[in-house]
Amino acid sequence: MFTEIPSERPITPLLDSVTNAADLRLLALDQLEQFNHELREYLIYSVGQSGGHFGAGLGVVELTTALHYVFDTPNDKLVWDVGHQAYPHKIITGRRDQMTMIRSKEGPAAFPLRSESEYDTFGVGHSSTSISAAMGMSLGMRAMGKDNQAVAIIGDGAMTAGMAFEALNHAGHEKADMLVILNDNDMAISDNVGALNKYFTRLWSSPTYSSLREGSKKILQKSTTAWEFMRKTEEHMKAMVAPGILFEELGFNYYGPIDGHDTEELVHTLANLKKLPGPKFLHIVTKKGKGFAPAEAEQIKYHALKKQNTNSSPAVAKPTYSNIFGNWLCDMAEVDERLMGITPAMREGSDMIRFSETYPKRYFDVAIAEQHAVTLAAGMACEGAKPIVAIYSTFLQRGYDQLIHDVALQNLDVMFAIDRAGLVGEDGPTHHGAYDYSFLRPIPNMVIMAPSNEDECRQMLYTGYQYQGPTAVRYPRGAGIGVEPQAQMQLLPIGKGIMRRQRSTQQDTAGKSIAVLAFGSCVNFALAAAEELAQQNIDISIADMRFVKPIDEALIAELAQSHEQLICIEENAIIGGAGSAVLEYLAEQGIQTPCQLMGIPDRYIEHASPAEQFADIGIDSAAIQQLILSLL
């Protein structure tokens, strides 16, 4: 058991001898325990250096080794759901020495990525896609005449999503030749682990039992009564020691649960299952954070780590936008009993812990079920409640039809607190909130707000809550700029921006007059650029537009008339974004003032630090200055 993160690279001779999965398969079975010890120690060390997902990978060390040991990867396909747990997989498959740079601009991605390695069979980052993808691979290999296996590894949290059960239902119908492994580290059904269950799992997965079962089936099916009696007897035997009847009814042969940290048992069971045709379901029980005592004790805290800080005097952390939301939620709930808080398994990330503890009867964690979360809110609103859906921008994409059909079409009183909007840094393109302006703007009845600081966020949340109809307040990941939120809540005028800096008509600007129309977090980039430009005797106007919809048409018209050039800047895709709304209005009114758009370009922005990403796409202070100087 490890208790602290090594400051120096551990000595791992067996791990160092494995440069890919083929090397792993050269090891003797009795060497795997030592290999796993070294793999776990190196994982703890490398994540300590790089930061990143931690507990999930520690929990699947033995499973990862067993899978690559038994299956002919990369010809056999492993699909890791979500991908939080894929760090051991990356270490085994040729990326060991790069792991201290994971999630950095020059290092491996945070999640499996097809372009990074042939062992990464499917790009992931969102939950509950693995069974569908593995089934598609299985059917594709069948059609192409390939004799390879497909394996989906999914956690008990991801199994709460409807998509996983849709895939299970279809796979059973198609008799897809695939294996689904449920990595269970929290569910109550894990209580059945024991010697008797282990014995039956090995028995049921053995070729002998499978052969006898199929032979008996052919004989007994001649008598419907006899076959039904045998089937029922087997079903009830399994029910006594295994919680797998649901999966059996969906057409899978269920095995388990077994100890997911018993490497030898995993190898034997997987080797047996590899020989069996059709859809198979293996239930394993693991410990998230296995082998690192602090992570075992506090699994939520150690879901991910920050880089180890060598500074003895770390800076005091500023409140994040999530903190602003969490505090406002409790303040609002105290004065309005109609308020209901809904989250799709993002209690900690959305900072709803205090709310969930203070108002447990008004808190609803629907698990990884974004579609259900949105329609649940719609139903609540029908009965006069005031639901708040706290959701990440990237995950709201999964509930888009429900947002249109169930909320906006009926003009229901639902507010969306959209966290992680814009670029999110090291997690990369699967987690960027790059499209919410674009996909929310076309929806009738929607009001969309974008705060530029902490106090504005609080007041927008209050404004959206008081508005009668669907609203969205979208705010970025991480800390704000240090503006203290005012305790007193106030309504903002819907659809009205404010001037944050007014160009002086008296000052010589050495060129044409320019106004920047900034949205959300980009207001602060614009203000910083203006301060730098002022040192060069260049004065510009800056508008904090505040509302993406309805957009402040009067302010746009005023700035277009009083300035020779407009610049729109946003932390969203340029296509269909807030700048597009400005251009649409200018075109509609026949206003010909030139307008440049700055935002996220038409490509995926790869993992890097936020500062590197802003510089890459050209929406930071330096990029704004450069554009303005070029226009002048």
Instruction: Give me the active site residues, please.
Output: 288, 370, 398
Do the beta carbons of residue 569 and residue 526 sit within 8 Å?
yes
DSSP letter, residue 485 = P
Phi and psi at residue 455, in whole multiples of 5°? -65, -40
Angle at 473 between CA 472 and CA 476, to 5 degrees: 135
Do the beta carbons of residue 302 and residue 294 sit within 8 Å?
yes
What's the CA gap between 19 and 37, in Å, rounded?
Answer: 17
Do the beta carbons of residue 101 and residue 126 sit within 8 Å?
no
- 509 contact partners, CB below 8 Å, separation of at least 6: 503, 537, 538, 539, 540, 632
Phi and psi at residue 517, in whole multiples of 5°? -100, 105
Phi and psi at residue 54, in whole multiples of 5°? -130, -65
Counting Cα atoms < 13 Å in the Cβ hemisphere of 90 gives 30
Name 8's bridge partners: none
Kindly tell me the burial class for residue 130, based on how many C-beta atoms sit within 10 Å of its own C-beta (0-12, 13-18, 19 or more): buried
Angle at 130 between CA 126 and CA 134, to 5 degrees: 150
Dihedral of alpha carbons 51, 56, 59, 64, sign: negative
Two structure tokens written together for 81: 């759901």
> Would you call 361 helix, strand, or coil by DSSP?
helix
Dihedral of alpha carbons 425, 39, 258, 303, sign: negative
For residue 456, give the amino acid letter: E
DSSP letter, residue 8 = S
